[in-house]
């Protein structure tokens, strides 16, 4: 992708985001009521003894980090530079996936530098240089042990963020969604849902009958339960995903 086309892609996604957000920005879900928020409704004789009360499950730092996450995209769909600086000052590691996510939507050098500074402050490391190369930061997060943490409400935040591009994305990312993969690994592919049609249960031919491939053309070979099939790179390059049945199993093959 050329620098010019990259700039156009960022500009188009920013316009789409701003258009969908309007003046209100992303909508944070109502917080779960806490003892402090309903204290006036508790009869005096049942007021808990604060000297022995359990510590709150969410620290002040984490609570502030959640606020920053919801403010980091402003009401016009743009990244809020003040919130980026606040993320660096806060320092919660759960803000790293948030900053990397917004870095993928940033093409302004000065703002990219601020995101890079915030990430360096939080993590104590520099990855990808001043322009915040998103790929290296994803690699960095994948190498963390223990695993990269995310903030509470990150699932809702990311679902709303992607939903500004295509509302149907909210069907996949929402509050308390069950997942077997880290949600920060989910990236927008640059198109709306089903924007690239999958290859659905394609007709197949025996290898000796194929006359449209050169002998040196690459293929993806898959074998399941003793049955084998070759998916030509030339075809998968157009579809990127195939749904098929092989070896008695329903499979999804992603390229």
Q: Between residues 37 and 197, which one has the greater pLDDT?
A: 197
Range 90-98 average pLDDT: 97
Predicted pLDDT at 24: 52
Query: What is the C-alpha radius of gyration for the chain, rounded to an integer number of angstroms?
Result: 23
Mean pLDDT check: name the lowest of 44-48, 50-54, 79-83.
44-48
Confidence grade of residue 89 (pLDDT, cut at 50, 70, 90): very high
Nearest to 202 by CA among 158, 238, 173, 167: 238
Element (H, E) at 254: strand 249-254
Q: Could you state, in order of their start, the residue ranges of all structural domains in the chain? A: 3-28+58-185, 199-254
Contacts by residues 200-204 (CB-CB < 8 Å, ≥ 24 positions apart) = 200/242, 200/243, 201/243, 201/244, 201/245, 202/235, 202/242, 202/244, 204/229
Predicted pLDDT at 122: 97
Confidence grade of residue 28 (pLDDT, cut at 50, 70, 90): confident
Mean pLDDT of the chain: 82
Confidence grade of residue 217 (pLDDT, cut at 50, 70, 90): very high
Locate tokens 């963390």: which residue?
A: 144
Residue 224, pLDDT > 60, answer yes
Q: How many CB atoms lie within 10 A of CB 202?
A: 13
Q: What is the DSSP string of 26-62?
A: S-PPPPPP-TGGGGGGS-GGG---TTTPPPPSS-HHH
Residue 82, pLDDT > 80, answer yes
Q: Between residues 207 and 93, which one has the greater pLDDT?
A: 93
Q: For residue range 184-208, what is the model confidence (pLDDT) as tens digits?
A: 998 888 888 888 899 999 999 998 8
Burial pattern 12-36, b for ≥16 Cβ within 10 A else e, equals ebbeebbebbeeebbeeeeeeeeee
Range 159-164 average pLDDT: 90
Q: How many CB atoms lie within 10 A of CB 137?
A: 24
């Amino acid at each position: 992708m050329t620098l010019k086309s990259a700039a156009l892609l960022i500009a188009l996604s920013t316009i789409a985001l701003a258009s969908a957000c309007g003046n209100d920005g992303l909508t944070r879900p109502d917080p779960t009521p806490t003892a402090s928020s309903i204290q006036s409704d508790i009869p005096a004789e049942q007021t808990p003894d604060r000297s022995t009360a359990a510590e709150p499950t969410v620290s002040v730092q984490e609570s502030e980090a959640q606020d920053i996450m919801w403010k980091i995209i402003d009401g016009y769909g743009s990244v809020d530079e003040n919130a980026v600086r606040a993320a660096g000052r806060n320092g919660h590691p759960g803000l790293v996936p948030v900053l990397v996510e917004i870095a993928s939507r940033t093409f302004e050098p000065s703002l990219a530098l601020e995101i890079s500074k915030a990430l360096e402050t939080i993590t104590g490391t520099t990855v990808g240089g001043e322009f915040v190369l998103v790929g290296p930061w994803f690699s960095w997060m994948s190498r963390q042990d223990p695993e990269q943490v995310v903030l509470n409400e990150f699932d809702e935040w990311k679902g709303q963020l992607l939903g500004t591009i295509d509302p149907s994305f909210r069907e996949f990312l929402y509050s308390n969604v069950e997942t077997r993969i880290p949600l920060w690994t989910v990236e927008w592919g640059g198109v709306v849902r089903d924007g690239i049609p999958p290859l659905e249960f394609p007709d197949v031919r025996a290898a000796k009958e194929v006359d449209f491939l050169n002998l040196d053309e690459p293929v993806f070979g898959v074998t399941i339960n003793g049955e084998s099939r070759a998916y030509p790179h030339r075809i998968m390059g157009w579809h990127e995903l195939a749904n098929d049945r092989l070896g008695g199993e329903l499979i999804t093959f992603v390229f």
